A and B are shown apart, each in its own frame.
Chain A
Amino acid sequence: DADVTQTPRNRITKTGKRIMLECSQTKGHDRMYWYRQDPGLGLRLIYYSFDVKDINKGEISDGYSVSRQAQAKFSLSLESAIPNQTALYFCATSDLKFGLYEQFFGPGTRLTVL
């Protein structure tokens, strides 16, 4: 079944470490997104990409960077992790076939920064 996958599913790291979260999709969608979720704050957009050559900052891009290696792959990096980046991170996709407004989410990566 076409899907959005994220690796790792859980990660514990220390302050100052570089971390990469990966997202892959087999849906053939052009658009990909990274969100973080904190209790009581909902989902906040970090970065989004409309194709391989297009990267855009979201609401909270500071401290993060992304790479769109291929249509199917979108990675999120924390260059120097800090404790307030502890959160649940979701990757999502959308496509013109679904009017672009429906987003399909991966299972999430729970990141803990000590």
Chain B
Amino acid sequence: GQSLEQPSEVTAVEGAIVQINCTYQTSGFYGLSWYQQHDGGAPTFLSYNALDGLEETGRFSSFLSRSDSYGYLLLQELQMKDSASYFCAVREPGTGGFKTIFGAGTRLFVKA
């Protein structure tokens, strides 16, 4: 079956670096995405990795290792506004094309 595993909660201090891991087991794989969701808000796209390696976008970076079925989201210079839930999501084959399967999410608490 398909599954995505990520920690349920992570706590870090303002200004620090935090890494949120995601391991996946799916029937097919085309890429790994990360989304951020603040309480009461909608998920918003952060990054996408189709190939192995690190993708950097400002303070956020995302890494993928397809051979290990593993990826992570790295948040640097943490700010209070980074307190949110973070979801990894796998793009896999679906009827008529691709579909996206989401993990259960990691709730990040940033402390002062």
Instruction: Enumerate chain A interface residues (CB-CB to B < 8 A).
Output: 33, 35, 40-45, 48, 50, 54, 56-59, 90, 99-108
Contacts and interface: CB of A to CB of B under 8 A. Distances in A.
B48 A44 contact: no
B104 A103 contact: no
Interface residues of B, number: 27
7 contacts: A35-B102, A45-B101, A48-B94, A59-B101, A101-B31, A102-B33, A103-B45
Main secondary structure, interface of B, reads: strand
B99 A44 contact: no
Contacts of A99: 48
A105 B42 contact: yes
A82 B45 CA distance: 31
B81 to A, nearest CB: 19
B96 interface: yes
B97 A101 contact: no
Nearest to A58: B99
Most-contacted residue by chain B among A41, A54, A100 (CB, 10 A): A100
